[in-house]
Amino acid sequence: MTTILSISGLTKEFGELRAIDELDFQLEQGTVHGLVGPNGAGKTTLLSILVGLRQKTHGNIQYGVSENRVMLLPDTPDFFPFLTTREVVDLARYPFRERVDIGAVDKVIAEVGLEEAVDRRVGGFSRGMKQRVGLATVLISEPQLLLLDEPCSALDPFGRREVLDLVSGLKGKTTVLFSTHILSDVESVCDSMTVMNKGRVLYDGPIDAFTNSDTQSFEDLVLDLLTTDSNNQGEK
Amino acid sequence: MNLWKVELFHLLRTWRGWTLSGVFLLASLLAVLIGFLIHRSSGSSFTYDQTLDLYTLLAWPALLLWIGIAASSFAIDSNKERSVFLRLRFSLAEILVSKSIFYFALAGTLWLAGFAITFLLGLVIYDGSHQINLGWFLWGLFFFLISGAFSTILILFCGALFRGAVASVLVVLGLNLGIPLIASLLIFLELLIRGLTHTPPIEWETVSYIARGLLWWPPATYDGVVFMSVTPSEIATDTNISIGQALELDPYFRMKPLISSVILMPAMVLFGWHRYSKREV
């Protein structure tokens, strides 16, 4: 398998606080990789650094693809309220207009289930609908590495299922780094995962290897790992 | 859809564009109306170029509104999520250049449209026997364009200083209104201290040290727009009469703020660019 993203010794400091602490991590092409951890684990900071919205303190990041094929969907996407869904997605297409045809706009909008809201202004949309528009804006750019920051956090169970199916459908075509704290989502769509706490990696590997237990559920295993780490940190 | 259209839709689909156009139109109509009232009360001959002078004064509120709208648009990072959307897809150069050109062109277009409406209405209603001198008009237009370019760059600069739209808007308005107001007060105090209170305002620029210093303040280039309505009779007397004030018809009038604008503009662009690009979202 080809490595699409390779991170070594990545550190991000905000004054005294180390949000990411000597992170080493690799991502294989075509996989859906979960990034799991509690609030403050450093997931969003990591994703922001990967797309250049924040600057690393030190460490190396190497991409196996062109950096303009890396796209991020933030956890609470927001758009110009005076534009319609079609206009927002078309604006997102504009920088990639040489490789993405205008016809793709409506196709992507249908893919995320917003056909009926195609000509409605996004200003009045619910968080869930904005999340779908957000998905459309990242999919239109045909990314090779897609970074999703808690994409299901604002969605109802049906919407969540649709997004998870959409992410599953990207397997093999696009590499997805999927940040979430909904553990069941990771178990259902991801091939591999990284568990983070306070900027450090606690586990990095396939889901199967992690759940190799008959007695404990996936969620219990993750929670145990995080609790043990937090206790160890407290003792230090 | 591209960034230019986004700016255009931002104006046309919200109150901003229509209000701004309305205020410029109002300035134009008020100039004609006030001209009419002056004409009726004084009984003297009122010429169309005097309505143009009134327009340059009455357009100030519209320009302040433009500053507010442009400054809030330049605060690209005030909404984190929209900032992420833009910054991930467009380079900072694309975002800032499109905004700068758009808002510079917008102010110029609306101001000149108001000027043209005033000109046409004035020509129809009042004495239009004097023609505006083209050479002086172009010189005045040059000052207007420099003033617009400086204001646009000042807005970009303040947008780089502050993440929030409110702070940016207030500082730009404060610089444009506050400095002349504070300077006027200080000039008065200076003249009071020096026992020169009898000095007519027209001579302040030569008598007061503070007024002389204020001449280097770049927005003072806007005063040069009075050249856009110079008539042959004014050229003959070498005096430009604008809203009751007689000024020497001097092409070097407001050369000092022109020099400071030319020096400050590239420095402000470089500083602004540096701040925008180093800012973490």
User: What confidence tens digit (pLDDT) does each residue in A102-146 have?
Assistant: 999 999 999 888 999 999 999 988 888 898 899 999 999 999 999
What pLDDT digit, counting tens, does each position of A56-107 carry?
999 999 998 888 899 999 988 999 999 999 999 999 999 999 999 999 999 9
Answer with the one of A121, A143, A165 that is the final residue of a domain: A143
Least CB-CB distance to A54: which of B1, B89, B280?
Answer: B280
Within 29-88 of A, beta carbons closer than 8 Å to B belong to 48, 51, 53-55, 71-72, 74, 76-80, 82-83, 87-88
Does A91 share its domain with A17?
Answer: no
User: For residue A137, which residues of chain B lie inside 8 Å, CB to CB?
Assistant: 85
Beta-carbon separation of B84 and A87 below 8 A: no
The total number of structural domains in chain A stands at 2
What residue of B is the nearest CA neighbor of A134?
B85
Q: Which of A99, A120, A143 is the last residue of a domain?
A: A143
In a domain, A26, yes or no: yes
pLDDT at B205 over 70: yes
Q: Specify which of B180-184, B242-246, B265-269 reaches the highest per-range mean pLDDT.
A: B265-269
A214 plus A157 within the same structural domain: yes
pLDDT value at position A145?
94
Q: Given a cut of 90, is residue B94 above it in pLDDT? A: yes
A121 and A61 part of one domain: no
Mean pLDDT score of chain B, rounded to an integer? 90
Report the residue of A86, A94, A146 to disrupt the B interface, i.e. the one with the largest count of B CBs within 10 Å: A94
Helix/strand/coil for B241? strand
Inter-chain touch A87–B87, beta carbons under 8 Å: no
pLDDT at B150 over 90: yes
Q: Which residue of A has its CA nearest to B13?
A: A82
pLDDT of residue A226: 87
Q: Give the distance from residue A134's alpha carbon to the nearest chain B alpha carbon, in angstroms.
A: 9
Contact B176, B67 (CB under 8 A): yes
For residue A72, give the 3-state DSSP assignment: strand
Percent of chain A with pLDDT over 70: 97
- Flag whether A164 is in a domain: yes
Evaluate if residue B237 carries a pLDDT over 90. no
Residue from B8, B9, B69, B89 whose CB has the most chain A CBs within 10 Å, to mutate: B89
Residue B221 near residue B143 (C-beta atoms within 8 A):
yes
Q: What domain range is A27 assigned to?
A: 3-65+144-235
The tokens of B249 are what? 């018809």
- The pLDDT assigned to A161 comes to 86
Q: Is the pLDDT of residue A213 over 70?
A: no
Min mean pLDDT across A224-228, B55-59, B68-72 is at A224-228
Q: Do A124 and A195 share a structural domain?
A: no
* Domain match, A52 and A95 both: no
In-domain check, residue A70: no
Residues A121 and A153 in one domain: no
In a shared domain, residues A23 and A132 = no
B11 contacts in chain A (CB < 8 Å): none
Is residue A72 in a domain?
A: no
Report yes or no: A174 and A145 within 8 Å, Cβ to Cβ. Answer: yes
Nearest to A72 among B9, B88, B90 (CB): B88
CATH of the domain at A41: 3.40.50.300
Interchain CB distance below 8 Å, B85 and A79 = yes
Cβ atoms of A85 and A122 within 8 Å: the answer is: yes
pLDDT digits (tens, 9 = 90+) for B40-50: 887 667 788 88
Same domain, A95 and A183: no
The answer for residues whose C-beta is within 8 angstroms of residue B158's C-beta and 6 or more apart is: B71, B74, B168, B171, B172, B175
Same domain, A135 and A156: no
Q: Tell me if A22 is assigned to some domain.
A: yes
Domain annotation covers residue A127: yes
Confidence at B196, pLDDT banded by 50, 70, 90: confident
CA distances from A63 to A7, A23, A30, B11, B269 (A): 9, 16, 14, 40, 33
Q: How high is the pLDDT of residue B58?
A: 93
Nearest by CB to B10, from A79, A82, A95: name it. Answer: A82
H or E segment at A10? Answer: strand A3-14
Q: How confident is the model at residue A236 (pLDDT cuts 50, 70, 90)?
A: low
Q: What is the pTM of this model?
A: 0.88
Q: What is the pLDDT of residue B69?
A: 94
Which of A13, A82, A89, A102 to probe by mutation at the B interface, max B CB count within 10 Å? Answer: A82
In tens, the pLDDT along B116-138 reads: 999 999 888 887 777 888 999 99
Nearest chain B CA: its distance from A74 CA (Å): 7
Distance from CA of A195 to the nearest CA of B (A): 25
CA atoms within 13 A on the CB side of A104: 19
Pair A151, A231 in one domain: yes
**Residue B36's pLDDT is what?**
84
A118 plus A7 within the same structural domain = no
Question: What is the distance between the alpha carbons of residues B201 and B106, in angstroms, rounded to a whole number?
Answer: 33
ipTM comes to: 0.89
Question: In terms of domains, do A10 and A42 share one?
Answer: yes
How many angstroms separate the CA atoms of B134 and B148, rounded? Answer: 21
- Nearest CB neighbour to B87, from listed A53, A82, A141: A53
Residues whose CB is less than 8 angstroms from the CB of residue A126 and which lie 6 or more positions away in sequence, other chains included: A154
Structural domain ending residue among the three candidates A117, A143, A169? A143
Mean pLDDT of chain A: 89
